[in-house]
A and B are shown apart, each in its own frame.
Chain A
Amino acid sequence: MHGGAEPYVHRTLRGGIELVVERLPDRPIAALDIRILAGMADEPADKLGLAFLVEQTINKGTAKRSGQELSDAFDRLGALHGSSAGRESFGFRCTCLPDFLDDVVALHAEFLRTPTFPEESCEVAKELALQELTALEDDPGELSRKALSLRAYGPVLGRHLYGERETIERIGRTDIVGFWQRNFGAARLQVAAAGRVDAERLADSLEKHFSDWNPSVVRATSPAVEFSAGRWHAHKELEQQYIAICWPGVPMSDAAHPVERVMLTILGDGMSSRLFAEVRERQGLVYWVGAWHEHPRTAGMIHLGASSTPARCEQTYVTLLREVDRLADDISADELARAKTQIIARTETHGDLTRARVSELASDLFYYGRPIPMAVKNAQVQAVSVEEIRGYLSEHPRDRRCVVTLGPAAPPAA
């Protein structure tokens, strides 16, 4: 379906811009993922929430037009666009009909390079950030994740997007502009594109718009996770008790990553997984339970989560830990084969979506510095053996855990 012998283009452009393209000429659209290698980890410790404010204000006015005029320009192209601020990167994503890709790149260049950060927009963004902190109090799932992140990831990588009330109040327009000046530049730019994309033309366009952008900005090294084991509980009037558990895993670039991925699928992905089968289907303790991993650029963390009414919380917690502890004991060949099929089949079906393809490419660039073809990743998954999972589990003990509970009852005694 790719139409050419080699679908991938990977180049480093002038100014240090990294570009990767997956050419899918039969697709009716083009998808773009622009990443700036800076994020919450680059905030001053007394200005937490600054990255969010930068992301919220960078498109609210440029040298040429107002924020609303900029949004209208995207809409006239029919470009579906969005942005986010993360631990170590800002993401600017856009999908459009292929004919408009040049215009979409130009619009991104306009607001990324010439934002005016209007004073009024900065004040509104601060006000909205404070209101988001209020809204956070009504989201127990996110609230428990916030409490967990600070302890499991440490004071730098464990920061929350909205910061804290007192740190938001300290931030002014000068801080926002300063953060952008210090952290946004060509050397920190990674661009992934997929779909009906002319790679050479896109490369030329990116060089034209970005290659001389802020050459004083250079790449920084990734901060490390500072993990703390322990148990914490916060009281809150809720119907359910929320349980969040975390311990260190391996980075995406580690050879054991595919092994961890298969192991987590066995543990918590799909209705046949051990957690879903035991905690929900067999015992009826929860509606929601899951296991997954998250990845700062050079680290990996394993997460478990569930929520249940207070009377069932203790049993839920004990069952979660029992399933984690017995993982190495009795993995069957059927379970292993099923987990591999789950991962590979979903990669293939979801590969029909151009947006899924560009997300995968952007992730490859961020973690590996190059595109990894789907077939290569699937072959790594297919090669995982029961012995490798046992080896992984013995090399990565799960007894030092960070546990956060949130809810109306006392924390689990177990």
Chain B
Amino acid sequence: MSQFHQQRLSNGLTVLVETMPHVTGVAVGFLVRTGARDETPADAGVSHFLEHMCFKGTDKRGWRDITIAFDDIGSTYNAMTSKEKTFYYGWVRAGDLARQTELLADMMRSTLPEAEFETEKKVILEEIAMSDDQIDRHLYDLLHEKFFAGHPLRWPVLGTTETIEKLTRAQMLDYFRRRYNAANMVLIIAGHVTASAAMKIAEDVCGHWPAGVARPDRQPPSIVKRGVAVLPMDRFRQQAIAMAVPAPSATDDDNEVAETVASIVGGSNSRFFWKIVQAGIAPVASAYRVDYCDCGFQLLYGFCEPPNAERLVEAIQRELSVLAREGVTEDEVMRVRNRRRTALALEAEAPYHRLMQLAHDLDMFGVPRSVEQRLAELDAVTTDRVHDYLKRWPMDREHYLVSVGPRAWPES
């Protein structure tokens, strides 16, 4: 249905093209292999702040010109920063691919305009304030702070009010020069385009970039597998509770098995849904696999009325014990597989969704995975593999528990 073309330009920039002849649009993005875990305590939050600054000006364009150029072609566009990557993208009509790619490429050579730095710092501080009003953000950050104690994965992507206020443009410029170069970036294009046309555009807009050097290798964390952390916050009405259980990294052969386990435990129509939500214990109880390049965890979480906190945790633990004792059924694995098959069919018709998946694949594996390949990986998940996984990654033995809300629970 689709086909890949992967090639390096002479300066070392990797270009990946997925031709999707069955669609009318095309999505393009620049993956920068850097994120919050690649920062230092002195510049925590710089990756995300820098992502904002790339919209603020280049040698050719001011911020107003950049935003107008996106909207002049009716692009669906944005950028995002995570613990491990920064990604800029636009989704346009096929005829606008060259304009969209040139614009994004120009932004990757940002001048980080001095006049805009302090104004954008205010926007970042507003974003932090807005996220401070969300209980789930506190829960997620607290879990990372404790589970990855002593490792850069513990830092929040946004940074903190203190680190952002202190951050200087000179620090950002230094970080930018070290990370935004051909050796550390990937150009990805997915949609109605031929490989030759896409490669010509890539050469035209990125061929002159300096080669640079790739980001230093990352050090894997030593995870704190057991513990409890409580953040009392009176202003919230719910109690938010999460448990982290170690799980394989994104590149592990058990990747699809780990996803299946998360889905059976806490996806839609899952054990958590019927045994916790439909038991009236909490309106939200879910499981979600968090995967990084060298580690991962199963995130088991829920939001409940504060007096229900004990019942929620007991119910989660009970389900994990049942899982360890009884395993999963053929029918459960088949149901997850069938849902995912439909989801993959949906992904195959959407250049934007393929672009996001390819960014993940390139970042983690260095090569793309086709929808067909992922279907094959999905089909290879069996109950035996799930049971083998549960022996090697037991979910009922140790966990790190975090709790945020009006109750200081569990008590130490």
Q: Could you tell me which A residues sit within 8 Å of B by CB distance?
A: 1, 26-29, 60, 67-68, 71-72, 74-80, 95-97, 121, 123-124, 127-128, 131-132, 134-135, 137-138, 140, 237-240, 270-273, 276-277, 280-288, 307-309, 312, 338, 341-346, 348-355
A338 with B72: in contact, given A1-B24, A97-B345 (CB under 8 Å)? yes
Contact of A77 with B338 in the complex, beta carbons under 8 Å = yes
Contacts of A68 in B (CB 8 A): 269, 274
Contacts of A307 in B (CB 8 A): 126, 130
In angstroms, Cα B341 to Cα A240, docked, is 42
Contact of A135 with B303 in the complex, beta carbons under 8 Å = yes
In angstroms, Cα B348 to Cα A102, docked, is 23
Number of interface residues of B (CB under 8 A): 69
Contact of B277 with A353 in the complex, beta carbons under 8 Å = no
Contacts of B269 in A (CB 8 A): 68, 71-72, 74-75
Contacts of B10 in A (CB 8 A): none
Partner of B282, one of A131, A270, A280: A131
Contact of A97 with B342 in the complex, beta carbons under 8 Å = yes
Contact of A28 with B71 in the complex, beta carbons under 8 Å = no
Contacts of B346 in A (CB 8 A): 29, 80, 95, 353-355
In angstroms, Cα B121 to Cα A287, docked, is 11
As a 0/1 sequence over residues 343 to 371 of chain B, the CB contacts with chain A under 8 angstroms (1 = contact) are 10110111100000000000000000000
A97 with B341: in contact, given A124-B279, A137-B237, A345-B92 (CB under 8 Å)? yes
Contact of A271 with B25 in the complex, beta carbons under 8 Å = no
Tell me if B166 is interfacial: C-beta within 8 Å of chain A: no
A76 with B93: in contact, given A349-B24, A353-B349 (CB under 8 Å)? no
Contacts of B283 in A (CB 8 A): 128, 131-132, 135
Contacts of B303 in A (CB 8 A): 135
Which secondary structure characterizes the binding site on chain B?
Answer: helix
Contact of B74 with A341 in the complex, beta carbons under 8 Å = yes
Partner of B55, one of A78, A97, A271, A343: A271
Contact of A345 with B237 in the complex, beta carbons under 8 Å = no
Given A29-B342, A349-B92, 7 more contacts at CB 8 Å? A72-B335, A79-B339, A131-B305, A240-B133, A287-B123, A308-B126, A354-B346
In angstroms, Cα B118 to Cα A284, docked, is 9
Task: Tell me the smallest distance from the CB of A161 to a CB of chain B, in Å.
Answer: 13
Closest partner residue, chain A, to B282 (CB atom): A131
As a 0/1 sequence over residues 10 to 44 of chain B, the CB contacts with chain A under 8 angstroms (1 = contact) are 00000000000011110000000000000000000
Q: Give B121-136 interface residues, CB cut-off 8 Å to A.
A: 121-127, 129-130, 132-135
In angstroms, Cα B273 to Cα A60, docked, is 12
In angstroms, Cα B351 to Cα A358, docked, is 18
Contact of A76 with B338 in the complex, beta carbons under 8 Å = yes
A270 with B135: in contact, given A29-B342, A123-B280 (CB under 8 Å)? no
Contacts of B284 in A (CB 8 A): 135
Contact of A349 with B93 in the complex, beta carbons under 8 Å = yes
Which of B130, B284, B348: most chain A Cβ within 10 A? B130
Task: Tell me the smallest distance from the CB of A307 to a CB of chain B, in Å.
Answer: 6
In angstroms, Cα B120 to Cα A280, docked, is 8
Contact of B350 with A352 in the complex, beta carbons under 8 Å = yes
Contact of A283 with B119 in the complex, beta carbons under 8 Å = yes
Closest partner residue, chain A, to B66 (CB atom): A271
Contact of B127 with A270 in the complex, beta carbons under 8 Å = no
Q: Give B202-218 interface residues, CB cut-off 8 Å to A.
A: none
Q: Give B40-90 interface residues, CB cut-off 8 Å to A.
A: 55, 63-64, 66-68, 70-76
Closest partner residue, chain B, to A407 (CB atom): B133
Contacts of A350 in B (CB 8 A): 76
Task: Tell me the smallest distance from the CB of B305 to a CB of chain A, in Å.
Answer: 6
In angstroms, Cα B5 to Cα A151, docked, is 56
Contacts of A277 in B (CB 8 A): 64, 67
Which of A124, A287, A308: most chain B Cβ within 10 A? A287
Contacts of A273 in B (CB 8 A): 71
Task: Tell me the smallest distance from the CB of A77 to a CB of chain B, in Å.
Answer: 7
Tell me if B174 is interfacial: C-beta within 8 Å of chain A: no
In angstroms, Cα B237 to Cα A132, docked, is 11
Task: Tell me the smallest distance from the CB of A158 to a CB of chain B, in Å.
Answer: 23
Tell me if B278 is interfacial: C-beta within 8 Å of chain A: yes
